[in-house]
Structures are given as structure tokens and as C-alpha cells.
Amino acid sequence: MAPRTLFDKVWDSHAVRVLENGQTQLFIGTHLIHEVTSPQAFGMLDDLGLGVRMPERTFATVDHIVPTDAREEPFADELADQMIKALRANCTRHGITYFDLHSGLQGIVHMVGPEQGITQPGSTIACGDSHTSTHGAFGAVAFGIGTSQVRDVLATQTLAMSKPKLRRIEVNGELGPGVYAKDVILHIIRTLGVNGGIGYAYEYAGEVFERMSMEQRMTVCNMSIEGGARCGYVNPDQTTFDYLEGRPYAPKGAEWDAAVQRWRALASESGARYDDVVVLDAAEIAPTVTWGINPGQAIAIGENVPHPDRVPAAERAGTLEALKHMKLTAGAPIQGTPIDVAFLGSCTNARLSDFREVASVLRDRRVAPGVKAIAVPGSTLVKEACEREGIDEILKRAGFEWRAAGCSMCLAMNPDKLEGDQLCASSSNRNFKGRQGSATGRTVLMSPVMVAAAAVTGVVSDARSVFGEATVSA
Amino acid sequence: MATLQPIAGIAGRAVAVPGDDIDTDRIIPARYLRCVTFDDLADGLFRDERFDDDGRSTSHPLDEPVRAGATVLVSGRNFGCGSSREHAPQAIRRAGFEAVVAGSFGEIFFGNATTLGLVCLALDDESLEAVQSAVQADPALELSISVADASITVADKTYPGELADAARTALLSGRYDPLAELLAGEEAVAAVAASLPYVAAGSGR
């Protein structure tokens, strides 16, 4: 048999049949749900008199709307309160495992799946959230879906899907000091464009991804959708298996050994065919920040904001619009741009390793006067782990507010929001206009350590010079 | 399950909301997602572009009285990128639009929209610019989209576009909501489920 990719193997083993319009009916092994995109789907099931096909393969948590400070119910926001109650009732009624707010296991849905060992290599994972691509870090085929599709998965455990093309993105060489997984993915999106991945799944391969921890791989896969690719993955290896072993939903004993054997065989084989291959050099990747209103509008920290007269004609209008919204000067350095808010959080960068890195650079440093700094662990388990290690104390001493787990200011469906045209140095994934809760709010995306550097200096800064290269070398 | 009407074409007046990479947060800001039904979403459509911080109208094209009743939304490249929120096409649909014409579409948006019967036609840069200019110049202009030909006709000129085969077939046959067909595959679904160790073994716990 010709050498095959992981994507083909997973797709083929989950393909149920070909539908009349040529799409594939694809079996979804794991369905993750949350409070924002599921209530309407349950409503549709009720209207149609349908039940949940595989409640035992469906897992729920609450993340987008939860306040990260006052978590007592009822929530002050009546609409949010209605949403958590609806999720709870739907899960109870259909026998779905629900990691509730005070279960000790609640968190952003893309943190909970991996933490619990629900996210496994070779599985198909769908969730009504575009950052479902995160789970691809484990060698799963994982993608975001809309609410009608949530309904489809609830009712049938399948989706009507067109098979995407596959692009292998290889990054080889060594990352420099102070260059993190976040910089790698921002660099990729900057290089290939925010729409470069439309119609593709991304396979992240090469030395850089092979050396990365699972948490770093999750950061990369998380932002696949920001490059237009609905799904992105890394081939599973010993790093993957070591992360999963012993987790609550991971196979145990003899089943574990059998699973590892199967998972090893999933990796893309040498000589497999790709629709496209892109090769990048790790040495060319610098700490990267966004300057505009989409994640592809990014530059290395030492570069200047683009000048509309010096960009390709097709990008001119977009550049002007972004500069106007961001209130930045064309052609000026991004470094030194004053910030109002520093946000450490989101499904992109709110894992234990992110907070460890930040804590290691923040010792004895203080958040600059006038900057509001908040740190929001991605899950309750991350919060507890940070607290066991004293990371919360380091962050609080530095001037960060230490919050409970949730999506928080990444999308501001909860009380954490920007006000007016505040500029936020953010470890999240989207710098869209209005994304952080204020129509005129401004977002500069960067790695957590760069957020820490911006927080202590009060301006967008190069963490390597703020903390010293030796400190930031991972 | 209710049978859907085949969608062969869309005709009507249009409104242009120019710009590339218009993401679903802009189409419907997240605060409008605090709901358990889709019923009231039309109000939130492009809310932060249509009103300023003090709630005053910005005279956005969507609010021009001469555009009332438009059924076609014309925008730029990579329309509907970002969040998977179906609330975005739901809001567009509930505001009375039956088609979106753009340079290209975010993939999840395209799928969500098609399932609702909201036709998404992609045009090349040159055609899009021509259509956009014509729409902006004349609020009374009638456009006509052919799903079968994946094209749009404006003032006697037809521009060929792109509409993925699967979506085109589904719209033309009235099968753009796939649920009934998915349910009909149950026997094959059970066989695949049984063949997958991680599924057959239960949840592993």
C-alpha cells in the first residue's frame, strides 16, 4: 500500500458512506459541547423528537460566559445564568458527562478534553467552537462546527463533510531564545495569510514541532483556524503518549499498551503525498506581535508597522482600516506602543507551562502603573496546579489579578471586557475589531512572556531585552 | 422532518458591506451570543459598525432606507472568517438576506450558511469589484444569482463565480440540511462505531 498520512488514515477509518451531494458522512468519535453553541441544537432535537445518539461520547463544560471572579450562582448576568442552567438541564436529561462549574474539573473546553485524556490520537473530535483545532496536537482530526452541525452530531454522531486538502508545514532548525510556540504559529499565519488555509487541513511537522511539549503543540494547533485551516495536527509520538498516560479517560493496563501500538502506527509515513508542502526555518522566527485587526497582520517585535504605500495594492485598504482602528502610525515601530490592559489567558495560552514561564520572568518585577493586568488560568486544574507551585503568589505580587478559569477577555461574553479604545497586550488568539468587548478596543496578540514584558514596561516590548535573553530561553 | 424547497436562484436588490476578512465577531458581536435561541439575532447584525459607542446610528449601508428589503449582501474576500458561531449566518438570514456574494468565505461560515439555505457565491476580484460598484451606485438595481451556473447577473452582464459542487448540488435538490440523510445511514454508522476501539471500549473509564 502506498505510504499514507495520518489525516487519510483517520478520515478513512471514520468515513461512514458517501452522501448524495458527494460529501462524506464522517463518524465523530468525541463530541465536546459548551453553553454557547449547544442550547439551540438541543432545541432543534426537541422540535424533531430526536435524542442524543451517543451520550457516552459527548462531554460538556461551561467556559465562555462564566465570570472569572464572582462565580456564585445565580450569575449577575441573567442571560448567562439562563445559559448555564440550560446546559446543565440538557446534560442531565440526556445523560451527558458535564464538568460543571464547581466540579473542580471545569475549564475552557479545549483544556478539559486533553486534561481528562478524552482527547486521543486517531480520533475525530468536533465541537461548536472554531478552536477545536487545538486537539489536533494529539494527532486527532479535530475541527469546529456550527450549531446545526452540533445538532447533527448529537442526533447521529456524524457530520456531512467534504474532505479537505492537506498541507504539510515543516519548521526545521532551532528557535531562538524568547521565541515560543505562539510566535511560531503567528509567523506561519503571517506567512501564509489568514485565508491561506481555506480548504486545507494542516500537518505541522519537522524538528520544531517534534521537540515541542504537548502544551506548546496545543498552542500551535489552536490557531490553525486563524490561518483559515479548520483543522491542524501534529503526528503522535512518545511526547503525546507520556502526556496521556494515567489521565482519567485514557486507556488503562493492557488496553493502554494496545492503544499506544495503534497510535504509533497512525503517524504519517515517509513518502506520503501532500497537496502542498511549506518549509520554514525556525531561525527566521522572532517574537511576533500583531499590529492590525486580524491575526495575519503580524510583525516581528523589532519591525515597524507597515506603511499603506509600501504594501501590495490588494492589502492597502485593509492596512488603512487596521491602522485607523489600532490608532497606530504607519511605518513606526510597534515597540513602545502604550498598553492599558495585559491579559494572560484563553485556550491558546493559559496552561501550566505558560504560567510557569511568566512566573519565572516576573519574579521581583511589578506591573507598570496604570496597567490593568489579569491572569486567567484555562482550567480549574491549571489554577490549582499554579497555586500549588506558588505561581499565583508571584503573579499577584507583580500586580496581576488572579482569576478563576474561563474564556474571560478572549471574547468578552462575560464581565471581563476592554473599555473604550483600551489597548490590550493579549495572549489570546483573535485581534478582531470589538473582539475583547469594546467596539473600539484594540488587541495586540503575543506570547505570554511578551504579555508579561508589556505589563511591566507599560508598552509593547521585546521580552528578550526586558528580562534578558538568558531568562526567557525556554 | 420538513422537506426543504430546492434553491435554484436568488433575485433581488443588494447592499454592499465592503472590506476583506470580515470576521464573524464583526458580523455578530459576542454579547449577542448570550441567548438560548436564534430568534432575536437580526438586531445584532453588524451592530458595532451600525451604531457608535453612544448608540447613535453611523448611517451604515445596512440602515439606509433605500436598501430596505435587500436580499443579497455583497462583501469582500474571506467573508465570515474566525469564530464558528452559526449566529452569524443566522443573523444575516433573519435580517432578510438570501445570499452573500463575496471574494471567498471562511470555511465554517460557508458550511453553516449553506445548511440554512443562505447561498454563498464567490467571485474573483475583478467581478466582485464590478458588482460592488454597481450595487453601491444604484440601490434599485436587481441582481440575479443562478445556483446551477454559480453565477450572478447584474444589469444584463453575467459574472461566473464559484460555489462548491457539494453545496450547489445540495441547494438545487433541497437537501442542504443533511440531517435526514445522516439519520438514514444509521446501520453503517453503527458498524463504524463498532470498528473503532476508542469508541467500542466506551469512554475508557
pLDDT beyond 70 at B205: no
| Number of domains within chain A | 2
Q: Is the pLDDT of residue B158 over 80?
A: yes
C-alpha cell at A347: 485556550
- Given CA atoms A428, A132, A261, A59 in this order, what sign does their dihedral have? positive
- Indicate the residue among A234, A249, A276 that finishes a domain: A276
Do A434 and A375 belong together in one domain? yes
- Position A92 in a domain: yes
B204 part of a folded domain:
no
- With respect to residue A1, please indicate whether it lies within any of the assigned structural domains: no
CA distance A348 to chain B (A): 14
Q: Choose the closest CB to A151 out of B179, B181, B193.
A: B179
State the nearest Cα–Cα gap between A371 and chain B, in angstroms.
23
In a domain, B188, yes or no: no
Instruction: pLDDT band for A459, please (50, 70, 90 cuts).
Output: very high
Residue B200's pLDDT is 85
Asked whether residue A192 falls in the same domain as residue A249, the answer is yes
Residues contacting B197, CB < 8 A, separation 6+: A258, A259, A262
Domain that includes residue B83, residue range: 9-175
A23-52 tens-digit pLDDT? 999 999 999 999 999 999 999 999 999 999
Query: What 3-state class would DSSP assign to A452?
Result: helix
pLDDT at A155: 98
8-state DSSP, A363? T
Distance in angstroms (rounded) separating the CA atoms of residues B19 and A383: 41
> Are the beta carbons of A152 and B36 separated by less than 8 Å?
no
The one-letter code for the residue type at A51 is G
Instruction: Please name every residue paired with B14 in a beta bridge, in sequence order, or none if there are none.
Output: B72
CB contact (8 A) between residue A29 and residue B196:
yes
Closest chain B residue to A126 measured between Cα atoms?
B84
Residue from B22, B45, B177, B182 whose CB has the most chain A CBs within 10 Å, to mutate: B182
Q: What does the mean pLDDT of chain A come to?
A: 97
Percentage of residues in chain A having pLDDT higher than 90: 98
Structural contact between residues A365 and A456, judged by C-beta atoms closer than 8 angstroms: yes
**How close is the nearest chain B Cα to the Cα of A219, in Å?**
16
Question: How confident is the model at residue B2, as a pLDDT?
Answer: 63
| Contact criterion met (CB below 8 Å) for A257 and A115 | no
- By the 8 A CB rule, do A120 and A134 touch? no
Concatenated DSSP letters of A216-252: HHHHHHHGGGGGT-SEEEE---HHHHHHHTT-TTS--
Residue B134 within a domain: yes
Instruction: Mark whether A130 and A262 lie in a shared domain.
Output: yes
b/e code A34-58 from CB counts within 10 Å (16+ = b): bbbbbbbbbbbbeeeebebbbbebb
A349 with A439, same domain: the answer is yes
% pLDDT > 90, chain B: 94
Q: How confident is the model at residue A69 (pLDDT cuts 50, 70, 90)?
A: very high
Q: Which range marks the domain in which residue A22 is found?
A: 6-276
Contacts of B204 in chain A (CB under 8 A): 117, 249-252, 255
Cis peptide before A74 (omega within 30 of 0): yes
Residue B203 included in any domain: no
Question: Does the beta-carbon distance from B185 to A16 stay under 8 Å?
Answer: yes
Residues from chain B contacting residue A162 (CB–CB below 8 Å): 164, 166
Residues of B with CB below 8 A from A110's CB? Answer: none
Asked whether residue A192 falls in the same domain as residue A305, the answer is: no
Q: Is A312 exposed, middle or buried (0-12, 13-18, 19+ CB in 10 A)?
A: exposed
Whether residue A270 is found in the same domain as residue A299: no
CA distance A147 to A128: 6
Indicate if A257 and A303 belong to the same structural domain.
Answer: no
Nearest CA of chain A to the CA of B128: how many Å?
A: 13
Query: Which range, of A353-357, A468-472, B59-63, averages the lowest pLDDT?
Result: A468-472
Considering the domain architecture, whether residues A214 and A83 belong to the same structural domain is answered as: yes
Q: Among residues A244, A276, A308, which one ends one of the domains?
A: A276
Of B52, B183, B195, the CB nearest to A155: B183
**Does A54 score more than 70 pLDDT?**
yes
Split at pLDDT 50, 70, 90, the class of A220 is very high
Dihedral of CA atoms A416, A116, A183, A36 in degrees, nearest 10, equals: -40
CATH at B30: 3.20.19.10
Q: Do B198 and A122 touch (CB under 8 A)?
A: yes
The pLDDT value given to residue A24:
98
pLDDT of residue A1: 82
Chain-chain contact of A144 with B78 (C-beta, under 8 angstroms): no
Residues of A within 8 A of B189 (CB-CB) are 16, 25, 27, 53, 156-158
Which set of grid coordinates corresponds to residue A338? 502604550
Question: Does residue A321 share a domain with residue A256?
Answer: no
Which pLDDT belongs to residue A473? 65
Answer yes or no: is A45 within a domain. yes
pLDDT at B204 over 60: no
Binary contact (B201, A255; C-beta < 8 A): yes
Residue B141, in any domain of the structure: yes
The verdict on a CB contact (< 8 Å) between A21 and B186 is no
One domain for residues A269 and A390: no
What residues form DSSP beta bridges with A79?
none
SS (H, E, C) chain B: CCCCCCCCEEEECEEECCCCCCEHHHHCCHHHHCCCCCCCHHHHCCHHHHECCCCCECCCHHHCHHHCCCCEEECCCCECECCCCCHHHHHHHHCCCCEEEECCECHHHHHHHHHCCCEEEECCHHHHHHHHHHHHHCCCCCEEEECCCCEEEECCEEEECECCHHHHHHHHHCCCCCHHHHHHCHHHHHHHHHHCHHHHCCCCC
- What is the spatial distance between Cα B68 and Cα A5, in angstroms, rounded to a whole number? 51
- Yes or no, beta carbons of A146 and B86 under 8 Å apart: yes
Considering the domain boundaries, does residue B205 fall inside one?
no
What is the arithmetic mean of pLDDT over B14-25?
97
CA-based nearest distance B112→chain A, Å = 6
Q: Are residues A224 and A128 in the same domain?
A: yes
Residue B114: closest C-alpha in chain A = A148
Asked if B21's CB is within 8 angstroms of A294's CB, the reply is: yes
Within a domain: A311: yes
One-character DSSP codes across A256-289: HHHHHHHHHTTSPPTT---SEEEEEEGGG---EE
CA distance A151 to chain B (A): 8
- The closest alpha carbon to B109, from B138, B78, B136, belongs to B78
pLDDT of residue B197: 96
State residue B129's pLDDT score. 97
Cβ contact A13–B196 (<8 Å): yes
Is position B185 within any domain? no
Which pLDDT belongs to residue B202?
57
Look at residues A145, A132, A133, A129 and name the one whose alpha carbon lies nearest to residue A26. A145
Distance between B36 CA and the closest CA of chain A, angstroms: 5
In a domain, B123, yes or no: yes
**Total domain count, chain B:** 1
Q: Could you tell me which chain A residue has the CA closest to the CA of B20?
A: A318
Residues of A in contact with B86 (CB under 8 A): 37, 40, 128, 146-148
Residue A156 near residue A53, CB atoms below 8 Å: yes
- What's A168's domain CATH number? 3.30.499.10
The secondary element (H helix, E strand) that includes residue A81 is helix A78-94
Q: Which residues pair with A402 in a beta bridge?
A: A375
Instruction: Looking at the structure, tell me whether residues A268 and A333 fall in a common domain.
Output: no
Tell which residue, B116, B17, B19, B21, has the closest CA to residue B67: B17
CA torsion, points A347, A131, A37, B79, in degrees to nearest 10? 130
Kindly list the distances between the CA atom of residue B73 and the CA atoms of B33, B89, B92, in Å, as whole numbers in the listed order: 22, 11, 8
As a residue count, chain A comes to 474
CA nearest neighbour of A144 among B76, B85, B16, B187: B85
Of the residues A223, A254, A276, which one is the last residue of a structural domain? A276
Among candidates A37, A128, A146 on the partner chain, residue whose Cβ is nearest the Cβ of B115: A146
